[in-house]
Structure 1
Amino acid sequence: MWKLKIAEGGPGLFTTNNFIGREHWEFDLDAGTLEELAEIERVREEYKKNQFKNKQNYDLLMRMQLRKENRSGPIPPPVKLQESTEEITDETVTSSLRSALSSLSSLQAHDGHWPAEFTGPLFFLPPLVMALYIIGDISRMLSLNHQTEIIRYLYNIQNEDGGWGFHLAGHSTMFGSGLNYIALRILGEGLEDGENRAMARGRKWILDHGGLVGLPSWGNFWISNLCIGFITQNIMLCYARIVYMPMSYLYGRRFVGPITELVSLQLNWNKARNTFAKEDLYYPHPLIQDLAWGFLHHVTEPLLKRWPFSMLREKALKAAIGHVRYEDEVSRYPCIGCIEKVMCLMARWVEDPNSEAYKLHLARLPDYYWVAEDGLKIQGLGSQTWVVVFAVQAILACNLNEEYGQTLCKVQAVWTRLHSTQQLSMPDYGWQVFDVTSEGLKSENGGYPAWELVTASSWMQKFNPTEVFEDPLFGGEYVECTSSALQALALFRKQHPKHRRTEIDSNISKSAQYIQDVQEPDGSWYGNWGVCYSYGTWFGVAGLVACGRNYKNCAALRKACDFLISKQLPNGGWGESYLSCNNKVWTSIKGNREHVVQTAWTVLTLIEAGQAEIDPTLIHRGVRVLINSQTENGDFPQQEITGTSFRYCGLQYAAFIDVFPLWALGECRNRVLLRKA
């Protein structure tokens, strides 16, 4: 039986805070009663039955374990509003809040944080399988139990047409199909294996869509170790920069894994240099990029193989591996994310297969594993701090602190160790998401980026080589980051009105102007890290309200309310598809179905903007949907994907269903119902 381990160390691991927030899964042969093992098999089968309806799992293995360990007693049953005309009262909402708070408390780890899956992209797991296969450590690092769960997951995420998507909710692509099919073959699956000949159907999809020559550049890297780049690294976004450092090192070293019967395949890669499957091509190369890459390949590359130009390559290789070493050491070997982790691991092994660095890399691999009813997958990184911050705000919004104070006390125990960081996951991860008090991270236009100050010119985005992302190389400013920074500074100014007042006032003014400048003509804001306009509009409104705007004195807030009201469904909820991120226009979920997380975001937005003072009926209708969606366990259903990155890649934040509906109900109780009373 799989067990989630919290805040535990091990050989080859380093920490700055006694491993607070660390999560990893281990298989325990002796764990679990017969009833528990039977329940695990039941939920696996239930997921399998519905895999094509909703690929988002419910994190049931984690929920079963933590609820047993916490022994928090029975969860109060939620209420249901039977009639559409039944009034929403303080008693009704409070009952739902107690049920949701009890559920959230039962899922809290002993170190105070809330473990949760943070996955979605389907190109995270295959590179690890390929890397360990090339290195020869796949059997040592992935036990039979690991491999069984990985195979389960790879089959579970296969689409009905036989292919695999770019992310969980996406249509089949060559990137997803090629990499996941190869991973299954490496793990021992035969040409006809899998339920309903899953492997044969996967192979057919690949061949029917042009074969592996249609892979985008990241896919080509993994199956041929071929990637060329020339952009100066110090102006690239840290996330992209750390991808291309090990990638360029491996290419410069001309590293190719051992040619075995399994992987032997003759392809004319030079002929297929600019060939991409149409299903993958989100960002086509501009002509200038293809010309630049062609010049580098046919002219520059031959020169770099000959003396004295080869000396320049040797110098560049030393610089590249130096950057890789630095990233390893400052992050204590988890690296900034799973993509970079596997590439850095490969680079350090190629540099020295017997090095201590390679061993330290292997020790941190379990930090990225996550096991649920759909199998074992790789997380992009952890979301520990992210979830803690949202959960605390949700709990405080309920104003039931006397009843649930113990939950907040457990949070404080971990938060005192995490508050000095701005990481998405935990301090050992080493990279900030953004520093909400740093003037140095604010761009000239008043906006804030996600990681670091944008220094590249916009024209350089024309050399984006990924084909599958938009603006991944240099980043940009985001309404979510700007709003968060603005809210923090406004709160700080209120508590310390005399401290650097002129600088803070100027900063808040510029950030507020940026938020208004990036508002869409229809009143919405584009969300870059959540789906999509419902998420971005919540941040845009919250930022403007934090600096003194309100419904009466700010036309931007009124437009935002009008936009959200226009998207309300007949049943009172809201539901936005991840396709909004791709299409850059609000796209409803198929069948005009509501989504509890997006309904919660919208309720929070309308309350924050002051809509309750104008007409609370619309808010009440949304709250009714949340109350009636609550399950017997006090939580809410896991529905369509809620996160996104770089406008095309869907992300699954499994904990959002535990946090945002609770937060919306709490704000409704305290700022709408009690204020009215």
Structure 2
Amino acid sequence: MALDATTGLVLDEHALDDSVQRASEALLRHRKPDGHFVFELEADTTIPAEYVLLEHFLDRIDRPLQDRIGVYLRACQGAHGGWPLFHDGAFNISASVKAYFALKCIGDDPEAPHMRRAREAILAAGGAETTNVFTRIQLALFGQVPWRAVPVMPLEIMHLPLWFPFHLSKVSYWSRTVIVPLLVLMARRPQARNPRGVDVQELFCTPPEQVTDWIRGPFRSYWGRLFKSLDGVLRHVEPLFPHAGRESATEKAVAFVTERLNGEDGLGGIYPAMANTVMMFDTLGYPADHPDAVTAWQAVRRLLVMEEDRAWCQPCLSPVWDTSLAGHALAEAGLPTDDACVWLRPLQITDVVGDWAVRRPGLRPGGWAFQYQNPYYPDVDDTAVVGMLLHRNGDPAYAEAIERAREWIIGMQSSDGGWGAFEPENIHLHLNHIPFADHGALLDPPTADVSARCVSFLAQIGMPVYDPVMERALEFLQREQEPDGSWYGRWGTNYIYGTWSVLCALNAVGIPPDNPMMTRAVDWLASVQRADGGWGEDEESYGDAPHGRYKESTASQTAWAVLGLMAAGATNHPATARGIAYLAATQKSDGEWTELPYTAVGFPRVFYLRYHGYRLYFPLLALARYRKLRRGNAQRVEYGF
């Protein structure tokens, strides 16, 4: 072992070399023949459960596959009897209802011990009538609740002008791609074929037909009460809308979807939008062999993960993110990144003007998507990380791609100085209070972590700190620092991720280590280090749990903390040495790390993620950077990531 996890003292530099070498070899074992990386991306059980229900909606049941998904669902059941939103998490009513429904469709006996425990937990939590909007829509599609259980979302939304208080361009890309095909379903109100006639009425404390108010509080604001009243009005007037307007709205929705169908990568590259597209085509009478219906179904099936004795469904694929991050780790270890860069370069989106252009007309496209293909929805975060990798590779052939990325990222900056993940100026916060948005994640406002990555990229390629773009961005990051010295992490869990991201950006622009933003962040990171030398953070920190704390340490969160400390000039800090010691001590003989806790997020408090690659490339990045800085090969972190 290279380091002593108790004292944090470097015992053997050769052992540190060995740790980096084994981690590099472990990562390279996952590289595809064409040079890219793509790791499994796991969410909670709602996605595989919804996939099971989709097959029953269509009467397209793959029995061997469903049996294997059943193995996965049963294994994820918690000690509380239900299903959580992340590994070892608390009971969640909506995830539990979907998992129970799926298992019953698969054929599990409702009186089997695991099903009885689940049912008891669901009823004790208030029953299926207390589930979220998306679960109630699933239940309505199967006739388990009346359609009045669902908020009113008229299909005529497709006709609303840009100036209207609600417009599809004013919500996030993920909301938009989910909503458009869903509007057709909510207007047509199809019923699942459900060939086995499965129902889950036993999960309701109050029979659904006796529930008088499905759109209930507590409302978070005046807006919530106002939208609740508006929902009541729409219920009375929607049936009076002209038939011609509804038909033309259907045509607009179908045109929107087909234009963005995105081949086998699917609408928006995300499961909910893809599944809604499949159901929309089916509801509109498209035969199963219609080219668009075939494409939509293939996109959904591509998300399946087939293991030896179980199967599950991913929420999306992450090849650009995985490849760029793995490339940075390999570069830090002194290994070539040519294969990764050659694979990434052609995926830059330069010929499709995406939905982002509604707010930025005239801006040339130049970003990268998160998935293999998603041209209407390039990802600002991915673009910054890919741009940094191409730049550090040093090949002049990438100069044009880097310049296009620079131009696009600058153009995507919001007026408050920050960047959102996919949209500029996506800050219509009142829309998070409509009844449909009970998940509170309808929007894509600027966040510290994405903004920090953009600052890092722009600084790395030479933008000076006094440039107006940089000045506004740094002011944004300064405003976003929490009272305890940390930063919120929107796309990674949570304050450890956000703090690491911003410290890298501050380092990249040359903020000195004695700057108060830096020192406060270092003090906070040191204060939440665990006794074993590592760091961990609970997904519940998106709720009421303490910032930066968890019952166990994880490899990825420890790596972020150590990388943040080094970016803040604290390479020789005892906390940094102890963090490196933890990584060395917990590395397995095959060079990998085990990490079961989820350390990323789709929608805070609603949808969490486990990137299976995080346990590989982030620890390697941290160990290799520590080795470089300790040996004096660099006086400071050389790159913005």
Coarse TM-score class (shorter-chain normalised):
0.7 to 0.9
| Alignment partners' CA distance in 2, 1:300 and 1:319 | 21
Q: Report the CA distance between 1:530 and its aligned residue.
A: 0.9
| Alignment partners' CA distance in 2, 1:178 and 1:388 | 36
Aligned with 1:389: secondary structure?
Answer: helix
Which of 379, 403, 406 is residue 433 of structure 1 equivalent to?
379
Q: What is the match of residue 179 of structure 1?
A: 98
Which of 228, 237, 252 is residue 303 of structure 1 equivalent to?
237
| Alignment partners' CA distance in 1, 2:50 and 2:303 | 13
Question: Partner amino acid for 1:390?
Answer: L
Does the aligned pair in 2 maintain the 1:386–1:424 contact within 8 Å?
yes
Q: What is the match of residue 368 of structure 1?
A: 303
Aligned with 1:328: secondary structure?
Answer: coil
Question: Partner amino acid for 2:489?
Answer: G
Larger deviation, residues 337-346 vs 507-516: 507-516
Larger deviation, residues 421-430 vs 597-606: 421-430
Q: 1:216 to 1:106 in 2, by over 3 A?
A: same
Aligned with 1:674: secondary structure?
Answer: coil
Q: What is the match of residue 139 of structure 2?
A: 223
Aligned pairs (5 A) from 1:189-588 = 189-193=108-112, 197-225=113-141, 226=147, 227=150, 228-229=152-153, 231-258=166-193, 261-263=197-199, 265=201, 267-268=208-209, 271-274=212-215, 284=219, 286=221, 288-289=223-224, 292-297=227-232, 299-306=233-240, 309-329=242-262, 333=266, 335-354=268-287, 355-372=290-307, 375-399=310-334, 401=335, 405=336, 408-419=337-348, 421-427=367-373, 431-434=377-380, 436=384, 437=406, 438=408, 439-463=410-434, 465-467=436-438, 469-470=439-440, 472-493=441-462, 505-552=467-514, 554-583=515-544, 585-588=546-549
**Unaligned 5+ residue runs, structure 2?**
142-146, 155-165, 202-206, 350-366, 385-405, 636-641
Larger deviation, residues 345-354 vs 184-193: 184-193
Q: 1:331 to 1:458 in 2, by over 3 A?
A: farther
| Alignment partners' CA distance in 2, 1:384 and 1:367 | 13
| Alignment partners' CA distance in 1, 2:95 and 2:133 | 13
Does the aligned pair in 2 maintain the 1:118–1:651 contact within 8 Å?
yes
Q: 1:169 to 1:257 in 2, by over 3 A?
A: same
Q: Report the CA distance between 1:357 and its aligned residue.
A: 1.3
1:426-482 CA distances to partner (integer Å, 9 max, x unpaired)? Answer: 136753112543233111111000111134433333226333x33x11221011211
Aligned with 1:473: secondary structure?
Answer: coil
| Alignment partners' CA distance in 1, 2:255 and 2:39 | 34
Aligned with 2:261: secondary structure?
Answer: helix
Question: Partner amino acid for 2:43?
Answer: G
Question: Partner amino acid for 1:597?
Answer: S
Q: 1:85 to 1:250 in 2, by over 3 A?
A: closer
Aligned with 2:49: secondary structure?
Answer: helix
| Percent of aligned pairs sharing the same letter | 21
Q: Report the CA distance between 1:206 and its aligned residue.
A: 2.1
Q: What is the match of residue 134 of structure 1?
A: 57
| Alignment partners' CA distance in 1, 2:77 and 2:11 | 43
Q: What is the match of residue 614 of structure 2?
A: 656
| Alignment partners' CA distance in 1, 2:583 and 2:319 | 25
Aligned with 1:645: secondary structure?
Answer: strand
Aligned with 2:254: secondary structure?
Answer: helix
Larger deviation, residues 430-439 vs 442-451: 430-439
| Alignment partners' CA distance in 2, 1:284 and 1:222 | 23
- TM-score for both structures, normalised by structure 1: 0.78
Q: What is the match of residue 154 of structure 1?
A: 73
Does the aligned pair in 1 maintain the 2:452–2:505 contact within 8 Å?
yes
Which of 22, 25, 44 is residue 102 of structure 1 equivalent to?
25
1:476-521 CA distances to partner (integer Å, 9 max, x unpaired)? Answer: 1011211111111122226xxxxxx89x922122112211111112
Q: How many residues align?
A: 565
Question: Partner amino acid for 1:214?
Answer: T
| Alignment partners' CA distance in 1, 2:623 and 2:484 | 27
Q: Report the CA distance between 1:675 and its aligned residue.
A: 4.9
Q: What is the match of residue 610 of structure 1?
A: 569
Q: Report the CA distance between 1:323 and its aligned residue.
A: 2.2
| Alignment partners' CA distance in 2, 1:82 and 1:325 | 55
Does the aligned pair in 2 maintain the 1:332–1:429 contact within 8 Å?
no
Q: Report the CA distance between 1:356 and its aligned residue.
A: 2.5
Question: Partner amino acid for 1:663?
Answer: L
1:640 matches 2:597: yes
Q: Report the CA distance between 1:166 and its aligned residue.
A: 3.0
Does the aligned pair in 1 maintain the 2:172–2:444 contact within 8 Å?
yes
The Cα RMSD (Å) is 2.7
Q: Report the CA distance between 1:202 and its aligned residue.
A: 1.5
- TM-score for both structures, normalised by structure 2: 0.82
Q: 1:85 to 1:422 in 2, by over 3 A?
A: closer
Q: Report the CA distance between 1:95 and its aligned residue.
A: 1.3
Q: What is the match of residue 6 of structure 1?
A: none
Q: Report the CA distance between 1:609 and its aligned residue.
A: 0.8
Does the aligned pair in 1 maintain the 2:35–2:343 contact within 8 Å?
yes
Q: Report the CA distance between 1:109 and its aligned residue.
A: 1.7
| Alignment partners' CA distance in 2, 1:154 and 1:236 | 32
1:5-24 CA distances to partner (integer Å, 9 max, x unpaired)? Answer: xxxxxxxxxxxxxxxxxxxx
Q: 1:585 to 1:122 in 2, by over 3 A?
A: same
Q: 1:269 to 1:669 in 2, by over 3 A?
A: farther
Question: Partner amino acid for 2:41?
Answer: F
**Unaligned 5+ residue runs, structure 1?**
1-77, 277-282, 495-500
| Alignment partners' CA distance in 1, 2:96 and 2:344 | 41
| Alignment partners' CA distance in 1, 2:28 and 2:492 | 25
1:107-142 CA distances to partner (integer Å, 9 max, x unpaired)? Answer: 21212122311112322122222222122112xxx3
Question: Partner amino acid for 2:565?
Answer: L
Q: 1:272 to 1:172 in 2, by over 3 A?
A: farther
Question: Partner amino acid for 1:653?
Answer: Y
| Alignment partners' CA distance in 2, 1:147 and 1:314 | 36
Q: 1:482 to 1:374 in 2, by over 3 A?
A: farther
| Alignment partners' CA distance in 2, 1:85 and 1:178 | 47
Question: Partner amino acid for 2:302?
Answer: D
| Alignment partners' CA distance in 2, 1:186 and 1:429 | 36
Does the aligned pair in 2 maintain the 1:578–1:642 contact within 8 Å?
yes
Does the aligned pair in 2 maintain the 1:370–1:377 contact within 8 Å?
yes
